[in-house]
């Protein structure tokens, strides 16, 4: 009998020990994000355990432990949950769900809520540069109005680039010019559209009535050709006849691009002569020369006796012959015998007078053109020494 009682007491103690070792008591919620793992169920005989005084602590709910078999004296406490940690800010932590009490444990306490989330601070917008220190090449200057780094803000910022010394305050880029003040020399005007210095903006800017302004450059007007930087009428200018390198003889003029004898003169085998006075071609190129002691007057050979008629001058020729010439108009005997006018001159009233074709002007008075080509003492002459063009002649008389 004593042996039987001893065995029974031993079994009861074993049951108690087994009950304490098991996690038959469910994990209770706590404040940590993760919960503890429930204990493994153990079996053992014993009487009912007493209820847990409190639930375990945890975060996310741990798996509930299996109920322990009745044993000896139950644990005063339920199973222990995982180690709690504090919740992180940001999104709100979820509260632990209520632990399910085992058949023997007490009612678990509800898990506490996670930490209170803190709203992130609003992003600070990029306000750009605040000073030149925030900028670098090739845009080393800070334009505070826009917070932008730019190449320049004033002309002083462009001093290191002599070919682009001006600052365009709209684009903040160093350019060649923003006004006429930036332009000198042969390109004195500023094209503010392209910010480049140019020769001209209008025809008047070219300073020559023979020039027109095309794309900021001065070009010869229609019908004229640039010869050495001068606009020439190759159809009528005896110094530039047909091309820039052909100059007509002193007794010639330029007719439609070809050198031709001046009005009143005739081409005889390449020589321009006055058939009214030339003793070798008196009256016609093919006529016989006047004989010794003869004169050519009015295209006829006659005796030198009595001299030349009124208004004519006796100019000696070879073999005692005489040419009766009009020294008021003869370019080979202008004003006196043997006085030849140069190319580009007319014999007017016995004086060699400079003349120029009134380029771009066909009908007198052509004042603007003549003032530029000759001077303000000119006379405009229609269809004089050239074919059907206006001439600007120095002096007050036309030929």
In the predicted model, is pLDDT for residue 23 greater than 80?
Answer: no
pLDDT the model gives residue 261: 93
Cα–Cα distance for residue pair 167/193, rounded to 1 Å:
14
- How many other CB atoms are there within 10 angstroms of residue 115's CB atom? 15
Q: In which element (H, E) is residue 372 found?
A: helix 367-373
Angle at 343 between CA 337 and CA 348, to 5 degrees: 55
In contact, 77 and 50? CB cutoff 8 Å = no
Residues 6+ apart with CB under 8 A from 355: 344, 345, 346, 374, 381, 384, 385, 391, 392, 393, 394
Non-local (6+) Cβ contacts of 154 within 8 A are 167, 169
Structure tokens at 218: 């001065």
On the question of pLDDT at 46 being above 90, the answer is no
Which pLDDT belongs to residue 116?
56
pLDDT value, residue 120: 47
Q: pLDDT for 252-309, tens place per residue?
A: 999 999 999 998 899 999 999 999 999 999 999 987 799 999 999 999 999 999 899 9
Quote the pLDDT of residue 359.
81
Mean pLDDT lowest for which of 246-260, 307-321, 377-391? 377-391
* pLDDT at site 376: 79
Q: Over pLDDT 70: what percentage of the chain?
A: 67
pLDDT band per the 50, 70, 90 thresholds, residue 127: low
Q: Is the pLDDT of residue 352 over 60?
A: yes
Q: Are the C-beta atoms of residues 241 and 392 closer than 8 Å to each other?
A: no
Per-residue model confidence (pLDDT) at position 139: 96
Residue partners of 10: CB distance under 8 A and separation at least 6:
none
The 10s digit of each residue's pLDDT in 151-161 is 999 999 999 99
Residue with the larger pLDDT of the pair 306 and 352: 352
**Per residue in 170-179, pLDDT tens?**
999 999 999 9
> CB of 100 within 8 A of CB of 26?
yes
**Rounded average pLDDT over 221-239:** 92
Query: Is the confidence at residue 43, as pLDDT, over 60?
Result: no
With a CB cutoff of 8 Å and minimum separation 6, the contacts of 201 are 189, 191, 213, 216
Residue 72 has pLDDT above 80, yes or no: no
Cβ-based neighbours of 99, under 8 Å, separated by 6 or more: 26, 27, 28, 29, 55, 56, 58, 61, 62, 64, 81, 108
- Is the pLDDT confidence value at 38 over 70? no
User: With 70 as the cut, is the pLDDT of residue 87 above it?
Assistant: no
Q: How confident is residue 358, by pLDDT bands cut at 50, 70 and 90?
A: confident
The neighbouring-strand residues paired with 166 are: 175
Taking all residues of the chain, what is their mean pLDDT, rounded to a whole number?
A: 76
**Residue 395 pLDDT greater than 80, yes or no:** yes
Q: Contact, 355 vs 345, CB < 8 A?
A: yes
Give the model's pLDDT for residue 25: 34
Mean pLDDT of 386-394: 78
Higher pLDDT, 266 or 16: 266
Q: Is the pLDDT of residue 21 over 80?
A: no
pLDDT at 119: 52
């Amino acid at each position: 009998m004593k042996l039987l009682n001893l065995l029974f007491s031993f079994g009861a103690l074993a049951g108690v020990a087994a009950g304490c070792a098991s996690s038959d008591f469910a994990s209770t919620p706590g404040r940590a994000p993760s919960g503890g793992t429930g204990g493994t169920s153990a079996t053992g005989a014993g009487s009912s355990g007493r209820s847990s005084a409190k639930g375990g602590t945890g975060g996310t709910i741990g798996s509930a432990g299996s109920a322990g078999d009745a044993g000896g004296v139950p644990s005063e406490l339920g199973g222990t949950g995982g180690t709690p940690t504090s919740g992180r800010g940001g999104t709100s932590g979820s509260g632990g769900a209520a632990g399910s009490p085992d058949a023997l444990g007490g009612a678990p306490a509800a898990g506490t809520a996670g930490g209170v989330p803190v709203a992130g601070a609003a992003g600070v917008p990029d306000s750009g540069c605040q000073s030149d220190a925030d900028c670098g090449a090739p845009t080393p200057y800070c334009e505070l109005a826009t917070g932008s780094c730019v190449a320049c803000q004033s002309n002083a910022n462009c001093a290191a680039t002599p070919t682009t010394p001006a600052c365009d305050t709209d684009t903040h880029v160093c350019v060649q010019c923003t006004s006429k003040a930036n332009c000198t020399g042969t390109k004195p005007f500023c094209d503010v559209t392209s910010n480049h210095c140019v020769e001209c903006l209008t025809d008047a800017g070219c300073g020559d009535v023979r020039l027109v302004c095309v794309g900021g450059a001065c070009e010869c007007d229609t019908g004229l050709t640039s010869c050495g930087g001068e606009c020439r009428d190759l159809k009528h200018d005896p110094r530039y006849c047909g091309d820039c390198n052909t100059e007509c003889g002193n007794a010639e003029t330029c007719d439609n691009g070809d050198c031709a004898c001046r009005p009143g003169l005739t081409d005889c085998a390449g020589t321009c002569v006055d058939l009214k006075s030339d003793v070798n071609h008196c009256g016609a190129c093919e006529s016989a020369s006047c004989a010794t002691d003869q004169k050519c007057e009015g295209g006829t050979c006659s005796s030198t006796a009595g001299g030349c008629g009124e208004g004519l001058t006796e100019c000696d020729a070879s073999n005692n012959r005489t040419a009766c010439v009009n020294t008021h108009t003869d370019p080979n005997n202008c004003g006196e015998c043997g006085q030849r006018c140069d190319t580009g001159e007319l014999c007017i009233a016995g004086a060699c007078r400079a003349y120029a074709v009134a380029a771009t002007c066909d009908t007198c008075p052509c004042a603007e053109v003549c003032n530029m080509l000759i001077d303000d003492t000119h006379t405009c002459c229609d269809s004089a020494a050239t074919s059907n063009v206006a001439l600007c002649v120095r002096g007050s008389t036309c030929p």
